Chain A
Amino acid sequence: MSLFTVFSIAGSGMAAESERLSAVASNLANANSATSSAGQPYRAREVVFRAVPAGDGGGPSSVGMAGVEVAAVVESSESLHSVYDPSNPLAGEDGYTQMPNVNPVDEMVNMISAQQDYQANLEAFNVAKTLAVRTLQI
């Protein structure tokens, strides 16, 4: 039934958006992590979304329908910030320390966008639920 496909589509949307929110949280938490497990300064993570055919094995009722999934998590290619801090043990010969390329403004905008998209998916989910219940009352 079409309405149940809505559940899986909206569900995939919510899952993808929460992953995006996780990436934002990770970036903000590590905005000042001058080193990481790889020994390099932390680089901002970004999730890449991809539309995927939705529903129950591509049945006729899901023709043209697309859920969403996270295709990849990529590291931002922006250059790292250099901060003059000779007292830092990670500082180079010239006294500069490489700091993460996290841009807090970008992250906040990304967070608001993820929040709105999540809410929209939740709304679509709830509407489908209301309609399904209403159908039972015919």
Chain B
Amino acid sequence: MVGPVDMGLDFYRQVLNLRAYRQQILSADIANASTPGFKAVDLDFKSALAAAVAAPSGGTAPSARPLWLVDSPAHMTPASASSAPASAAAFVKYQLGSEVTLDGNSVDLNQEKVKAAENAVDYEAAATFATQTIKLLMTAVTGSQSSSSSGG
């Protein structure tokens, strides 16, 4: 049963990784709001997630993955933790349409703050869904409260 359990959580892991990555990009924009010549960037989240889901980090489909062996070096390194943002870096794009100041800076502070707040809510949503998925699995494992209490 490793396959289905892993698949449900794997998706949220990708989402949380990418949301955290986007948060990082947006705070870099905010930090450089007054840096001459700095151009604002953003992550194309939709495309990045689609690519991350289409090409799993391990290279094999989750269902085809063997049971975890702790002596295998491939399983000792957190593959997705490091490789997901690296491949997501291809989806970081310059923001178009924002006003460029005389010193060549294109960061719109208000817009960045709104985006960061939005991204934070999306991150929390994904975290909540992940929590719910785990709770669901726990229910499947332990059974309902009423039957366990009556049985015990």
Contact = CB atoms under 8 A, between A and B. Distances in A.
Q: Do the two chains bind?
A: yes
Interface of A: 1-3, 5-6, 9-10, 12-13, 16-17, 20, 48-51, 54, 59-68, 113-114, 116-117, 120-121, 123-125, 127-128, 130-131, 134-135, 137-138
Looking at B21, B24, B33, the one whose CB has the most chain A CB atoms below 10 A away is: B24
Nearest to B109: A120
Contacts, number: 124
A121 B83 CA distance: 27
Contact of B30 (A64, A65, A124): A124
Nearest to B124: A134
B36 A65 contact: no
B34 A113 contact: yes
Given A61-B85, A116-B109, A20 B34 contact: yes
Interface string B14-58: 001100110111111011111110100100000000000000000
A130 B23 CA distance: 12
A48 B28 CA distance: 17
Chain B residues touching A, majority SS: helix
Given A2-B24, A6-B24, A9-B24, A130 B120 contact: yes
Contacts of A16: 31
A68 B31 CA distance: 6
24 contacts: A2-B17, A2-B20, A2-B85, A5-B24, A6-B27, A10-B27, A10-B30, A10-B31, A13-B30, A13-B31, A49-B36, A59-B82, A61-B21, A61-B85, A63-B92, A64-B89, A65-B24, A68-B31, A117-B30, A120-B113, A121-B31, A124-B23, A127-B117, A131-B123
Contact of A63 (B89, B109, B112, B134): B89
Nearest to A14: B31
A64 B22 CA distance: 11
Contacts of A9: 24, 27-28, 31
B16 A135 contact: yes
B107 to A, nearest CB: 10
B30 A121 contact: yes
Contact of B120 (A54, A66, A127): A127
A66 B31 contact: yes
B28 A66 contact: yes
A1 B81 contact: yes
A48 B30 CA distance: 16
